[in-house]
Every structure is written in structure tokens, then in C-alpha cells.
């Protein structure tokens, strides 16, 4: 009998190709893993509501979202790490003065502090979700937020990095930066899950391609960087597979011996 392992997959550039499509070979590979009794999980920077359809399509109920700030195991919330609201309020005031919009995000929705802005449409549009934040400048009040988006051209986030030490700022688009709780990462979210599952490190796997995957890939014992990953991402992974466009998931799972 195959010993059960857990496999964490990033979404964009890993499970989904650059057209935001799920390759047939990837879908089939995921179900083969499940048939063998393995646990398939997602580890992403996306909000839960941004990949609900993918979870349903792949029948996945365990995930690390918001780069580790909102973690679910078998459909139940296991760990949350919200933003410090007082600091976020100050950051928002500064951003408004600089004409830099903010989007507030919890586990269910996202709201913008300005009615509309081209930076928001441009960056979120690249996700091809048909989801755009409506306007609610008070959405941060009285609720836990796990991530915000700061919209500013590359380089203009330097002031925020210097001034707001409760947050990490991770650029994901030429005009958009993730605002996360300081020190939060996919690796921490994964640790919460594997501790609960009690699986040894040799039966833990992770696939990713982005800069926000580096801590995950350097921490998980059997880490796999996609062929389309940047060189510095590949350098921290144990294995390198083919590109997402070239059946990279299937090739990688065979390479590590899971299929």
C-alpha cells in the first residue's frame, strides 16, 4: 500500500497555465494522486473566493490562501493571521494622498477604497476572474482582513516599506503590490497543516513558480520548481520540472516518484 503524502500546489503558473487554464494532464494527475490515497492541497497568494471554482473542479478541500494568512484543512478553518487594522488605516490615509488605491480583502470578498481606478482594472483583470472589487472605503472596519492590495507603479512602494513595519510588501504586477502581515508566508500555513496531519517531512511535497513560493520551496522537503519559474526560485527547490505549458505537473510528479 502506498504511504500517504501531502502535495501542495501553487495556482498561477503552476496548476494554471499563462492563459489561466487547467491543462488536461494536470487535472488527470491530481485525480491519480487522490486515487492513490494522497492528500492534494493548494498553496496560493489568491483569496479563497478567487479559486473556489478550481477547488470544486479538482475536489480539493485543504488549502493555504493569502500566502499563509487563511488556512483550511478538510473544509475547516485551521489558522488565520489578519492584518493589523490600525496600521492599515494609517497606510490607507497615506496611499490616498499619493493617489494609490487600496483594496481590502477578507475570506469572502474584496472592496476598494475608491470608486474606480485604472490600476485596479488593469492588474486584477490579468487574473481573468471576472471579479472586480466594488466600492466600500469602510470595509476594513469591524472585520478581519488577511491581505490588501496597494496599487502603485514599480518603485513607488519603497516609502511604504520604510514606514510600515507591520507589513510585508510583495509585488505581483507592474502596478500592484500585495500587503501582508509581517513574516507571513505559505511555508507557515503549510506547517500548520502538516503538524495537524502528522505526516513526516519526507512525505511532504510542494510545487511552485513565483517569488512568493520561495520560502515554501526552501522549507518543504520535496520541493519542485516549475520550468517557467525564475532562476532564483529554481535555486531553492530540490527538483526542477518542465514548464506549466509542457505538462510540468505530470512530469514533476513522475520525477519525484508519486506517479
Give the residue-averaged pLDDT of 226-253: 97
Cβ 225 vs Cβ 217: under 8 Å: yes
- Is residue 1's pLDDT more than 70? no
Annotation marks residue 178 as catalytic: no
Average pLDDT value over all residues in the chain: 95
- Report the alpha-carbon distance of residue 126 to residue 149 in Å, rounded: 14
State the catalytic residue, choosing from 10, 106, 168, 178: 10
Q: What percentage of the chain has pLDDT greater than the value 90?
A: 93
**Residue 211: per-residue pLDDT:** 86
State the fold for domain 85-181.
3.30.1240
Instruction: Give the pLDDT of residue 129.
Output: 82
Average pLDDT over residues 230-247: 97
pLDDT number for residue 154: 94
Q: Which tens digit of pLDDT belongs to each residue from 81-94?
A: 999 999 999 999 99
- pLDDT at position 116, please? 86
* Better-predicted residue by pLDDT, 116 or 112: 112
CATH number listed for the domain at residues 6-80+184-255? 3.40.50.1000
In the chain, what are the domain boundaries? Answer: 6-80+184-255, 85-181
The predicted model scores a pTM of 0.92
Q: Which grid cell is 155?
A: 518603485
Amino acid at each position: 500500500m502506498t504511504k500517504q503524502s501531502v502535495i501542495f500546489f501553487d495556482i498561477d503558473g503552476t496548476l494554471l497555465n499563462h492563459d489561466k487554464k487547467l491543462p488536461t494532464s494536470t487535472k488527470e494527475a491530481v485525480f491519480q494522486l487522490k486515487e492513490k490515497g494522497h492528500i492534494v492541497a493548494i498553496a496560493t497568494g489568491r483569496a479563497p473566493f478567487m479559486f473556489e471554482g478550481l477547488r470544486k473542479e479538482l475536489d480539493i478541500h485543504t488549502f493555504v490562501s493569502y500566502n499563509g494568512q487563511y488556512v483550511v484543512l478538510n473544509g475547516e478553518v485551521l489558522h488565520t493571521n489578519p492584518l493589523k487594522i490600525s496600521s492599515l488605516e494609517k497606510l490607507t490615509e497615506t496611499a490616498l494622498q499619493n493617489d494609490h488605491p487600496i483594496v481590502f480583502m477578507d475570506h469572502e470578498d474584496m472592496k476598494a477604497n475608491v470608486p474606480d481606478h485604472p490600476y485596479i482594472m488593469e492588474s486584477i483583470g490579468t487574473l481573468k476572474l471576472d471579479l472586480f472589487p466594488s466600492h466600500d472605503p469602510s470595509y476594513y472596519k469591524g472585520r478581519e482582513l488577511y491581505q490588501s492590495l496597494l496599487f502603485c507603479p514599480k518603485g513607488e512602494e519603497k516609502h511604504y516599506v520604510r514606514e510600515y513595519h507591520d507589513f510585508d510588501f510583495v509585488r505581483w504586477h507592474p502596478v500592484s503590490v500585495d500587503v501582508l502581515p509581517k513574516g507571513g508566508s505559505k511555508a507557515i500555513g503549510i506547517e500548520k497543516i502538516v503538524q495537524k496531519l502528522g505526516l513526516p517531512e519526507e512525505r511532504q511535497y510542494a510545487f511552485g513558480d513565483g517569488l512568493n513560493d520561495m520560502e515554501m520551496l526552501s522549507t518543504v522537503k520535496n520541493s519542485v520548481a516549475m520550468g517557467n519559474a525564475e532562476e532564483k526560485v529554481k535555486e531553492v527547490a530540490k527538483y526542477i520540472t518542465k514548464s506549466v505549458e509542457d505538462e510540468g505537473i505530470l512530469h514533476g510528479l513522475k520525477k519525484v516518484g508519486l506517479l
